[in-house]
Amino acid sequence: MSRFAAPIAEQIWDMKYRLKNADGSAVDKAVEDSWRRIARALAEVEQDSKGWEEKFYAALEDFKFLPAGRIAAGAGTGRAVTLFNCFVMGTVPDSMGGIFDNLKEAALTMQQGGGIGYDFSTIRPRGADVKGVAADASGPLSFMDVWDAMCRTIMSAGSRRGAMMATMRCDHPDIEHFITAKSDAARLRMFNLSVLVTDDFMEAVKADGPWELKFDGKVYHTVNARDLWNQIMQSTYSQAEPGVIFIDRINAMNNLNYCEDIASTNPCGEQPLPPYGACLLGSINLARLVANPFEAEADLDEEQLSELVATAVRMMDNVVDASRFPLEAQAREAAAKRRIGLGVTGLADALLMTGLEYGSEEAARQTESWMKRIARAAYLASVDLAREKGAFPLFDADKYLASGNMMQMDDDVRAEIAEHGIRNALLTSIAPTGTISLYAGNVSSGIEPVFAYSYKRKVLQKDGSRTEEEVVDYAVQMWRDKFGDKELPSYFVNAQTLAPAAHVRMQAAAQKWIDSSISKTINCPEDINFDDFKEVYMQAWDSGCKGCTTYRPNDVTGSVLSVSEESEKTPEADEGADVVYISEPLDRPQSLEGHTYKLKWPDSEHAIYLTVNDLIVSGQRRPFEVFINSKNMEHYAWTVALTRMISAVFRRGGDVSFVVEELKAVFDPRGGAWMQGKYVPSILAAIGGVIETHLISTGFIAGEGMGLKSDPQADVVQIGGTPRGKACPSCGQFDLQMVEGCMTCRSCGHSKCG
């Protein structure tokens, strides 16, 4: 009998976690082989390796403990890969040499598949003096463009996708440019952005007071704090970025605040980390631990939970020794502190099985109770490891016990730490678990509510055809198996129907006993007014959260699933997210209006002349064809090919603004150039910029990177006649949804955040 609760679970295992040879033949014949491989690899450092292998296998069996994807895919394979998910890189020096040294470190880290986080607050603002060269600084955003281009290049080389997080302090002189940077949809697409918000700033916002923007002791501007806060809120209201990180709270509550300062997080925000810090993640599947689901005596087995947590802590501690690291500095940092991030998944399903409504006061109290149980078990297990193997090297009992998060820990746990030390400086974190949750049978993700009770996915068959299969939430499937077609109880709620305040309540309840942080998306309805939207962030601040990320579907962020009141309240595809295409190419008239632009690439002998001709449809211009001419014969073949492809796309009609975004994203490994104060990563990106300028000037798009202004062909029939949402870059299916701050594909599990 298959261990998998759903076909999609087995497909995720096969695609992402199953060990295969280079020719695609399977080494892991069944999922049990994968569990055995992981258990054996993580038990190798133990004196009783065979005994611990069996205990580790039992924890993995039936998806009770879910190590993060890099552990599942890499442990025991003999491959030179990191088992850590992501890293915060070193502090960026305010010097050209130091900046590009850090760029190299980032590239080496991403080459091994690790996501990275950076604080760009350390780079001097735009326009500041650069001593010794009689020039003005270009500012941190110009260097973020370089990082963005590097990430694209690493991805284009076939490496696993790695997301990036960029943070900037709320008092940096360029903070307003940072806030609005992604209003250009083609810019910084490899980054998640978050503002580091200080306690002083929040007090100034509430007092409606002034706020100084400064760097290196010099005040550059003074703004109104509430106005700056409103700029952050307006940007995230419109385009879901930047996020907000309450950085002073993070540092105050850090167990290691006596020996490290945190200024950034990993890409999804659940791991605030010091320079060269790494996040090691794993999740307890709460949905597998509920006894007597949906019965009056339904309850989560807390004894089993404590035992499973203790085993998981030992497994994750062993990963610190088993993993490779892209950089030596990362290995030293991990060994000195041995921080791990043990979290949960399946929380919403576990609550449903015990008859609780996600987001209610009772559910929040139960969540806090379960999180405390996990925290106690994790800390006591780490004390036992310290008895056996020694405390983490930077452990100082007096300082550690006086740190922020430890001050609330129970006295018996504090006494054990004082006497024996502790093996791992930090132990708990709640990460995005989108893919491993599918692998575990489509349990609810992390501490998120159930996103959809069921949905249809198209599966590609060997003969090229596609079949549809239903993917059902784990708890909903259990209900169906037990009660058939009986209507779901009223306490079944999902992400589409919950009020934002309910999301915040659950995040705050979990955060109390999580020593790192939480990756959580607070879903907001599209029609929420701006004042109510801002209140969500204030509620997050007032309730003790360490950060806040929201998602409000709109024309910029894209639509997510909407909920129909019919058919068991099952979310259905929103038809508003489709791109419209003309079914037949447009015919070319005898004459067209157009413009020719001269493009001079630095260090190139000959200029390039680019002509864009437009078609007039219903009194409005839209691009129809492109010609590129140059005396440089080196460019001849690719320019002809490029113009033919772009012209063919233009003649199909619809929203062709994506052509600009794709061209602007092309990176030349030989180096880009600075043009009009902006870093342009390649000559193709420069061509994309020229086409964008033309589309703006003719009114076809609204502004830089803002997409289609209006489509004169919007009423034509689409290919296939069926509305479509955004396509997954991995499998091509139109099944992307926002989960835990990451666009995630329901069909193949692909996630923007890796």
Catalytic residues: 266, 268, 270
Which DSSP helix (H) or strand (E) runs through 510?
helix 500-511
Helix, strand or coil for residue 441?
coil
Structure tokens at 124: 């001097």
Question: CA 209, CA 195: separation in Å to the nearest integer?
Answer: 19
Distance of CA 15 to the CA centre of its chain: 20
Structure tokens at 467: 């079949």
Q: Where are the beta strands (DSSP E) in 425-465?
A: 454-460
Residue 378: exposed, middle, or buried by beta-carbon count in 10 A (0-12, 13-18, 19+)? Answer: buried
Pairing of strands 86-88, 115-119: parallel
Helix, strand or coil for residue 548?
strand
| CB contact set of 659 (below 8 Å; sequence gap of 6+) | 646, 649, 650, 688, 691
Question: CA 635, CA 98: separation in Å to the nearest integer?
Answer: 35
Contact assessment for residue 12 and residue 72, using Cβ atoms and an 8 Å cutoff? no
| CB contact set of 620 (below 8 Å; sequence gap of 6+) | 699, 700, 710, 712
Q: b or e along 258-291 (b: 16 or more beta carbons within 10 Å of the residue's beta carbon)? A: ebbebbbbbbbbbbbbbbbbbbbbbbbbbbbbbe
Contact assessment for residue 265 and residue 167, using Cβ atoms and an 8 Å cutoff? yes
Q: Where are the beta strands (DSSP E) in 11-133?
A: 65-67, 86-88, 115-119, 129-130
- Dihedral of CA atoms 566, 498, 495, 428 in degrees, nearest 10, equals -150
Question: CA 396, CA 384: separation in Å to the nearest integer?
Answer: 17
Nearest to 610 by CA among 622, 620, 600: 600
Contact assessment for residue 73 and residue 16, using Cβ atoms and an 8 Å cutoff? yes
136 - beta bridge partners? 129
Contact assessment for residue 668 and residue 602, using Cβ atoms and an 8 Å cutoff? no
Rg (CA), the chain: 27
Question: CA 98, CA 92: separation in Å to the nearest integer?
Answer: 7
The count of residues in the chain is 754
Could you tell me the CA-to-CA distances from 682 to 660, 679, 693 in Å, in that order?
Answer: 13, 9, 17
Question: CA 55, CA 37: separation in Å to the nearest integer?
Answer: 13
Could you tell me the CA-to-CA distances from 675 to 338, 399, 681 in Å, in that order?
Answer: 45, 51, 10
Contact assessment for residue 518 and residue 546, using Cβ atoms and an 8 Å cutoff? yes
Nearest to 73 by CA among 473, 435, 430: 435
Contact assessment for residue 292 and residue 355, using Cβ atoms and an 8 Å cutoff? no
Helix, strand or coil for residue 331?
helix
Distance of CA 549 to the CA centre of its chain: 11
Work out the angle between the directed axes of helices 49-60 and 302-322 (0-180°, nearest 10): 120
Question: CA 467, CA 464: separation in Å to the nearest integer?
Answer: 10
Contact assessment for residue 419 and residue 49, using Cβ atoms and an 8 Å cutoff? no
Contact assessment for residue 194 and residue 165, using Cβ atoms and an 8 Å cutoff? yes
Contact assessment for residue 494 and residue 352, using Cβ atoms and an 8 Å cutoff? no
Enumerate long-range contacts of 719-723, CB under 8 Å, 24 or more apart: 719/581, 719/583, 723/573, 723/575, 723/576, 723/577, 723/578
